[in-house]
Structure 1
């Protein structure tokens, strides 16, 4: 019995996914933000008269983002509008200068709104994710609310924005509102495995392990090969006392994705489980389980 309790404590204290992890599709890297989100309608083509300049700016971001800031700033002064501001935001993102990046995206959204440009919702989302990356969840919520207020927003994109807003609400400690946002997202993007993954993570935070198990199983059905989903499934199984299933899932991640953050967390969890199984002294009193110590999440989504 004692080794089992020690193993349970090990699962609860070993590395695991963040309590509400970032949505990997929302990474604020230039490569991801230069293209429309999966759930969004196709982005309007860049006008031919500025296409070369826009592409040159994006290429410069990958090579020398500091020079891209200079280029985009000059282009903005010359009337480059939302395209110049988007390039400016991407350059700041490349340097992890989150506040000016968010400000550039917000102004791009306002320019797009004035021009009735459908990209304005995506700019607001990019701004919100930059604010989240900069530890400004209150400003992130305002940006996500602006995105949700955009007319004719598609249901898939609306669902994705609710997921982003939920992450901001968790950062603010507002779990009830985060749950409302995630439940709304599940209605709109029920086939999205990341929505179920985030819902399971929130349920775990809410100490609702039954719902956490139900939701992570659904995520696994939709994305069986996703190491982050599988890692969280292992953690939830362990917290429910199913150590054999936890070990099986951790091993699957450790062997299938050894060089990822999830793979390294799974390897650490397996090592901890082995230690308590081998080293637990007979008759020793088990340590009291404590809340999981989560690793710092990546700087952020979209």
Structure 2
């Protein structure tokens, strides 16, 4: 939900109720009601509902406010796991030509995420490069760039970009988790283990921590005397695995 917070704070804001939990939203088809309910749905982790309400609100807006609402809707479609709707909505937002600064960069980054999901790595990289012009201070940009670089089989770029993310957000479980993947792709299992263990420590009860534990479980177990015995042709050392008569 990267864009939502930024767009809710925009001036003029497309959504007049960034703290929707503190108000009771009217239930009608006005822009105010749609915006308020979209903010509440985003807060309550109902991204598809939020995206739909934002698109409805955008239909009653014009200019920069319309494009801001569409960009926020695109972000919510990504959160909902619908890359196709995200791409279409973000294309409309970017085509409006009114977004600028951080809002433009975040919309381009979200569009890059949708392109990567669709397998269009070339378009995703071009959009990341554009987004870097305005949101280079956002560690998520470099996190995503590193993940994209792994898919591009560009390990040097993956290392360079994840290191930028680590410099900006050294305690982020998400960044540490991706750093582990970069290290694994580079063939450094020891470093990967270190990053994934840090990710678990940073998010012990969360989904990223759980994913890091899963990644750790798939690393090769360090060899011990017992491991070596188990790998012998005669089984576990207590006799031939398949004794001959």
Distance 1:40 1:224, change over 3 A: farther
Q: Does 1:56 align with 2:24?
A: yes
Taking the aligned partners of 2:16 and 2:47, their CA distance within structure 1 comes to: 26
Deviations 1:243-267 (A, max 9, x none): 2222221222222321222222223
- Match of 1:207, SS state, is coil
Taking the aligned partners of 1:190 and 1:148, their CA distance within structure 2 comes to: 19
Contact 1:39 1:160 in 2 (8 A): no
Please state how far the C-alpha of 1:25 moved relative to its aligned partner: 2.6
Structure 2 unmatched runs, 5+:
232-245
Taking the aligned partners of 2:194 and 2:219, their CA distance within structure 1 comes to: 12
Structure 1 unmatched runs, 5+:
1-23, 27-32, 58-70, 285-302
Q: Determine the structure 2 residue equivalent to 1:228.
A: 174
- Match of 2:128, SS state, is helix
Q: Does 1:106 align with 2:55?
A: yes
Larger Cα-atom Rg: 2
TM norm structure 1: 0.64
Identify which range, 260-269 or 168-177, moves more after superposition.
Answer: 260-269
Taking the aligned partners of 1:282 and 1:206, their CA distance within structure 2 comes to: 40
Deviations 1:205-236 (A, max 9, x none): 11111111111001111111111101111121
Taking the aligned partners of 2:8 and 2:171, their CA distance within structure 1 comes to: 19
TM norm structure 2: 0.78
- Match of 1:273, SS state, is coil
Taking the aligned partners of 1:165 and 1:148, their CA distance within structure 2 comes to: 9
Count of matched residue pairs: 228
Q: Determine the structure 1 residue equivalent to 2:234.
A: none
- Match of 1:231, SS state, is helix
Taking the aligned partners of 1:198 and 1:283, their CA distance within structure 2 comes to: 41
The 5-angstrom pairing of residues 1-302 of structure 1 reads 25-26=2-3, 33=4, 35-37=5-7, 40-41=10-11, 43=13, 46=16, 55-57=23-25, 71-72=26-27, 75-76=28-29, 81-90=30-39, 94=44, 96=46, 98=48, 101-113=50-62, 118-273=64-219, 275=221, 277-278=223-224, 280-281=227-228
Contact 1:89 1:105 in 2 (8 A): yes
Distance 1:131 1:262, change over 3 A: closer
Contact 1:39 1:157 in 2 (8 A): no
Distance 1:132 1:45, change over 3 A: closer
Contact 1:36 1:42 in 2 (8 A): no
Distance 1:247 1:38, change over 3 A: farther
Contact 2:67 2:92 in 1 (8 A): yes
| Root-mean-square deviation over aligned CA pairs | 3.3
The one of the two structures with greater contact order (alpha-carbon pairs below 8 A, sep at least 6) is: 1
Please state how far the C-alpha of 1:97 moved relative to its aligned partner: 7.5
